[in-house]
C-alpha cells in the first residue's frame, strides 16, 4: 500500500496534463477583476463629473451679484436637482463671503459609492469629492459725465424738440441704470457741464491755488502742456479766466456783489449753480436734479470739459473727495487699483471754437481807468439838455436846472498822453490832457478820484467799449489763447492720457458735424465706444454705454 501510494505520487508529479488549464483559470480571473475595476472606475468618474458639473453651476449662481439669496441656500437648491446619487453631502468653505461689492463662494460635495468588482480585492466603497469656487465682484465705479450745454444744444433736433431736453432724459436714465440699490455707495458720478469753459463750484475752487483776479468767475485757463497731464495741481497757481466781455459796451450800474444782477452774463464763465461741476455724487436724486437744471448757452469747449473729466478721475483730485467726506472720502482711487473701474463719457453736438483771454498787461494790477466824482450841470436830470449851456454860463433856467454830483469814468491812453471820458462805450470819448479831480479830495466829495484795477475795469466796460472809447483796437487787449484747431489737439491729448492710465472712454456725437465726429472717434477707447446719434436715439446711446459699463464691472 505504501509502495502504491508512493508510485502514484511520483507518477502525478511527472504528469503535465492540464497545466495550461490552470494558467487559463488564473488569467481569466485577472481579466474579470481588471474589467470589473474599469466598470467601477467609470461609474466613479460619471458620478464625480455629474457632481462637479452641478456644483460648479451652483457656486456660479450663488456668487452672482444679481443673487439675493444666501449662498448656502442657492448651492443646496442646485445640488438637490442632481439625480446621479440620492445621497451626498454639500458644505460651504470657510472663505465664502458676501459683501456690498462682491460675492465669493467656495463649496465641496462628497459622496460614497459601493463597488461591484473591486470588493473582490477588499475595496467595497469609493469616496467621491468635488470642490468648486466662484467669485464675482463689482468694482468701485468712478464716472465723469462730460456734457455739452453750449447754445446749440437749445436748438431743435430731428424730432422737433430741443436737444438739451433729449439729453436730460437720456442722462437721467443713465444715472438710474449705473447706480443701483445694491452698489449705490460704490458708484460715484461727476457731472461736468461745459460751454465756453467749465465753471468750478466755490467749494472746489477754494481747494486750488488760483490767481484770485475776481470772484465773478471760477473758470481756469489751461495751456498746451496741461493737456499732457491728467491731474490739475492744487499746489501750482492756476490761471483764471477773467470776468470780461468782448461784445457788450459800458454798464456803470453793474454790481458785482449782487448775485441777482441781470448783467452776470457779462463774463464768459457762468457762476450760476446750473453751470457748475457736480463732483463725486452717489445720489440718484441729486444727480438727476443737476441734470434737469442744465441750460444751453455759449460756445463749445469740449477740450476743457474733457480735461476736467479726466482730472476728476485722477488720484490727485482726492483732495476734493476728502473735503466732501463720507462715502467719497477716498475718491478718486489710484489708477489700476483692483476693484475700481474709471469711466469717462464725453458728449458734444459741435466743433470746438476759438477761445480768448486777456493779455497779461490787462489782467491784474492798476489799470489806466479812473473814476472821478464831479459836479455836473443837469436840466430836468439830463446833462445834454439844451438848457444846460444857458444855465452854466448865464444862470438861466435855474428852476429847471441844477448841479449834481456824478461819478464819471476816464481812460488814459499812454501812446498819446490823453484821457478819454467814457460815454456809452460806443464811440470815442471826449479828450482831456489832464485827469479831472485831485488826490487830496476825500471819499465821497467832489474831486475824489480812484484808479481802478484791471478786474474792476472789466466789470463795467467790455474790451470793445474800452477800445471804442480810446479809439484803439480790441485786439490790443484780448488774446486768442486757444484756436479751434489747437483745442482739438489738446482734447486728443487729454483722451490719450486717460486711456493710457486705464480709463475707459466713451464718446457721443449728438447730431454733430463731421469734424467733431472724427475727433470723438479718436477720443474713444475703441470704435465700439463711439456713438453717432440724434434726438431719437441719444437715449439708446446712453443705455448702451450703461450696459457696457455693467459688463466691464464684472470682468474686473
489-522: per-residue pLDDT in tens?
999 999 999 999 999 999 999 999 999 999 999 9
pLDDT for 260: 54
In a domain, 262, yes or no: yes
Say yes or no: 228 and 339 in one domain. Answer: yes
pLDDT of residue 265: 45
Cα–Cα distance, 145 to 65 (Å, whole number): 25
In a domain, 7, yes or no: no
Please check the confidence at residue 536 and state whether its pLDDT lies above 90: no
Reported as type and span, the H/E element at residue 49 is helix 19-63
Residue 27: per-residue pLDDT: 54
Q: Which of 254-263, 398-407, 519-528 has the weakest average pLDDT? A: 254-263
Q: Which three cell numbers stand for residue 12?
A: 502525478
Q: What dihedral do alpha carbons 158, 164, 166, 168 form, nearest 10°?
A: 170
Comparing C-alpha atoms, which of 545, 364, 532 is closest to residue 456? 364
CA neighbor of 240 nearest in space, from 194, 275, 209, 204: 209
Domain final residue pick, 476, 499, 531:
476
Residue 19, pLDDT > 60, answer no
Task: Indicate if 131 and 173 belong to the same structural domain.
Answer: no
Distance CA 487, CA 300 (A): 10
Q: What pLDDT is recorded for position 216?
A: 86
116-160: pLDDT as tens digits: 666 777 777 778 888 988 877 666 899 999 999 999 999 998 888
- Residue 20: pLDDT band (50, 70, 90) is very low
- Listed range (287-291, 322-326, 405-409, 479-483) with the worst mean pLDDT: 479-483
Q: Is the pLDDT of residue 267 over 70?
A: no
Q: Is the pLDDT of residue 550 over 90?
A: no
Tens-place pLDDT, residues 179-229: 876 544 479 999 999 999 999 999 999 999 999 999 889 999 999 999 999
Q: Is residue 513 part of a domain?
A: yes
pLDDT digits (tens, 9 = 90+) for 65-104: 667 788 888 888 888 877 666 567 888 888 888 765 567 8
| Per-residue pLDDT band at 396 (split at 50, 70, 90) | very high
Helices (H), 228-379: 284-293, 302-311, 318-324
Higher pLDDT, 276 or 3: 276
Confidence of residue 25 (pLDDT cuts 50, 70, 90): very low
CB contact burial 227-258 (16+ within 10 A = b; e otherwise): bebbebeeeeebbbbbbbbeebbbbeebebee
Output the pLDDT for position 81: 75
Whether residue 13 is contained in a domain is answered as no
Q: Are residues 29 and 97 in the same domain?
A: yes
Asked whether 242 and 455 are in contact (CB, 8 A), the reply is yes
Q: Is the pLDDT of residue 5 over 90?
A: no
Q: State which of 476, 493, 509 marks the end of a domain.
A: 476
Give the confidence band of 288 by pLDDT, cuts at 50, 70, 90. Answer: very high
Selection from 319, 442, 348, 415 nearest residue 149 by Cα: 348
Examine the domain organization and report whether 243 and 345 are in the same domain. yes
Whether residues 401 and 445 fall in one domain: yes
Domain-embedded: residue 5: no
| Of 123, 127, 124, 122, nearest in space to 112 by CA | 127
Whether 428 and 548 share a structural domain: no
Is the pLDDT higher at 264 or at 516?
516
Give the containing element (helix H, strand E) for 272.
Answer: none
* Residue 9 falls inside a structural domain: no
Q: Are residues 201 and 187 in the same domain?
A: yes
One domain for residues 513 and 416 = no
Listed in order, strand segments (DSSP E) in 95-248 are 97-98, 102-114, 125-137, 140-148, 187-194, 220-221, 239-240
The pLDDT mean for the chain works out to: 86
| Residues 230 and 318: beta-carbon distance below 8 Å | no
Confidence of residue 24 (pLDDT cuts 50, 70, 90): very low
Higher per-residue pLDDT: 89 or 257: 89
Average pLDDT over residues 36-46: 69
- Is residue 556's pLDDT more than 60? no
- C-alpha atoms less than 13 angstroms from C-alpha of 44 in its C-beta half-sphere: 18
- 350 with 413, same domain: the answer is no
The predicted model gives 263-292 an average pLDDT of 86
Tell whether 4 is covered by a domain.
no
Distances, alpha carbon 161 to alpha carbons 74, 154, 377, 477, in Å: 49, 9, 55, 40
> How far is CA 427 from each of CA 253, 465, 477, rounded to the nearest angstrom?
19, 8, 17
Return d(Cα 133, Cα 112) in angstroms, integer. Answer: 22
User: Does 271 score more than 70 pLDDT?
Assistant: yes
- Please, is 148 exposed, middle or buried when counting C-beta atoms within 10 Å of its C-beta (0-12, 13-18, 19+)? buried
Q: Are residues 485 and 503 in the same domain?
A: yes
The answer to whether position 383 is within a domain reads yes
End-to-end CA distance of the chain: 95
Last residue within a domain, chosen from 137, 152, 175:
137
**Which domain CATH number covers 318?**
3.40.50.410
% of residues, the chain, pLDDT over 70: 85
Cell 469747449, located at residue: 301
Domain count, the chain: 3
Domain containing residue 128 = 21-137
What does the block give as the cell for 166?
433729449
In this model, does residue 364 exceed pLDDT 50?
yes
Q: Which residues of 158-186 are buried (b: 16+ CB within 10 A; e: fewer)?
A: eeeebbbbbbbbbbbbbbeebbeeebeeb
Q: What is the pLDDT of residue 264?
A: 38
**Same-domain check for residues 344 and 429:** no
Q: Are residues 34 and 181 in the same domain?
A: no
Instruction: Please give the Cα distance from 170 to 122 (Å, whole number).
Output: 72
Cis peptide before 487 (omega within 30 of 0): no
Amino acid at each position: 500500500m505504501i509502495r502504491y501510494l508512493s508510485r502514484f505520487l511520483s507518477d502525478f508529479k511527472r504528469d503535465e496534463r492540464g497545466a495550461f488549464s490552470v494558467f487559463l483559470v488564473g488569467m481569466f480571473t485577472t481579466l474579470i477583476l481588471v474589467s470589473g475595476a474599469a466598470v467601477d472606475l467609470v461609474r466613479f468618474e460619471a458620478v464625480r463629473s455629474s457632481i462637479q458639473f452641478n456644483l460648479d453651476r451652483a457656486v456660479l449662481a450663488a456668487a452672482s451679484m444679481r443673487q439675493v439669496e444666501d449662498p448656502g441656500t442657492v448651492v443646496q437648491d442646485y445640488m438637490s436637482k442632481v439625480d446621479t446619487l440620492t445621497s451626498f453631502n454639500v458644505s460651504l468653505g470657510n472663505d465664502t463671503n458676501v459683501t456690498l461689492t462682491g460675492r465669493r463662494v467656495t463649496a465641496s460635495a462628497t459622496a460614497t459609492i459601493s463597488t461591484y468588482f473591486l470588493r473582490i480585492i477588499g475595496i467595497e466603497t469609493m469616496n467621491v469629492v468635488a470642490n468648486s469656487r466662484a467669485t464675482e465682484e463689482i468694482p468701485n465705479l468712478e464716472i465723469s459725465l462730460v456734457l455739452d450745454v453750449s447754445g446749440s444744444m437749445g436748438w431743435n433736433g430731428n424730432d422737433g424738440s430741443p436737444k438739451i431736453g433729449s439729453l436730460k432724459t437720456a442722462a437721467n436714465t443713465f444715472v438710474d441704470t449705473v447706480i443701483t440699490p445694491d452698489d449705490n455707495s460704490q458708484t460715484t458720478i461727476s457731472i461736468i457741464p461745459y460751454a465756453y469753459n467749465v465753471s468750478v463750484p466755490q467749494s472746489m475752487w477754494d481747494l486750488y491755488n488760483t490767481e484770485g483776479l475776481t470772484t465773478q468767475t471760477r473758470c481756469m485757463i489751461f495751456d498746451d502742456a496741461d493737456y499732457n497731464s491728467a491731474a490739475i495741481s492744487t499746489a501750482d497757481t492756476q490761471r483764471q479766466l477773467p470776468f470780461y466781455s468782448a461784445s457788450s459796451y459800458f454798464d456803470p450800474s453793474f454790481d458785482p456783489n449782487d448775485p441777482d444782477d441781470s448783467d452776470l452774463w457779462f463774463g464768459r464763465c457762468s457762476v450760476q449753480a446750473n453751470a457748475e461741476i457736480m463732483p463725486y455724487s452717489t445720489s440718484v436724486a441729486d444727480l438727476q436734479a443737476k441734470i434737469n437744471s442744465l441750460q444751453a448757452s455759449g460756445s463749445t469747449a469740449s477740450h476743457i470739459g474733457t480735461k476736467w473729466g479726466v482730472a476728476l478721475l485722477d488720484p490727485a483730485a482726492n483732495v476734493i473727495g476728502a473735503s466732501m467726506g463720507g462715502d467719497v472720502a477716498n475718491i478718486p482711487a489710484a489708477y489700476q487699483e483692483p476693484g475700481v473701474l474709471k469711466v469717462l463719457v464725453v458728449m458734444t453736438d459741435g466743433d470746438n471754437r476759438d477761445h480768448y483771454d486777456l493779455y497779461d498787461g490787462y489782467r491784474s494790477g492798476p489799470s489806466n481807468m479812473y473814476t472821478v466824482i464831479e459836479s455836473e450841470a443837469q436840466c430836468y436830470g439830463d446833462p445834454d439838455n439844451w438848457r444846460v449851456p444857458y444855465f452854466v454860463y448865464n444862470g438861466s433856467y435855474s428852476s429847471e436846472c441844477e448841479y449834481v454830483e456824478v461819478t464819471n469814468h476816464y481812460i488814459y491812453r499812454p501812446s498819446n498822453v490823453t484821457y478819454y471820458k467814457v460815454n456809452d462805450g460806443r464811440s470815442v470819448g471826449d479828450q482831456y490832457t489832464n485827469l479831472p479831480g485831485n488826490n487830496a479830495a476825500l471819499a465821497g466829495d467832489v474831486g475824489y478820484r480812484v484808479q481802478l484795477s484791471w478786474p474792476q475795469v472789466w466789470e463795467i466796460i467790455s474790451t470793445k467799449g474800452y477800445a471804442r472809447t480810446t479809439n484803439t483796437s480790441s485786439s490790443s487787449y484780448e488774446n486768442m489763447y486757444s484756436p479751434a484747431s489747437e483745442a482739438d489737439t489738446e482734447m486728443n491729448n487729454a483722451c490719450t492720457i486717460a486711456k493710457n492710465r486705464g480709463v475707459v472712454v466713451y464718446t457721443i456725437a449728438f447730431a454733430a458735424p463731421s469734424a467733431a465726429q472724427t475727433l470723438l472717434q479718436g477720443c474713444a477707447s475703441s470704435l465700439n465706444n463711439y456713438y453717432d446719434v440724434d434726438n431719437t436715439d441719444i437715449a439708446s446711446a446712453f443705455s448702451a454705454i450703461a450696459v457696457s459699463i455693467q459688463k466691464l464691472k464684472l470682468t474686473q
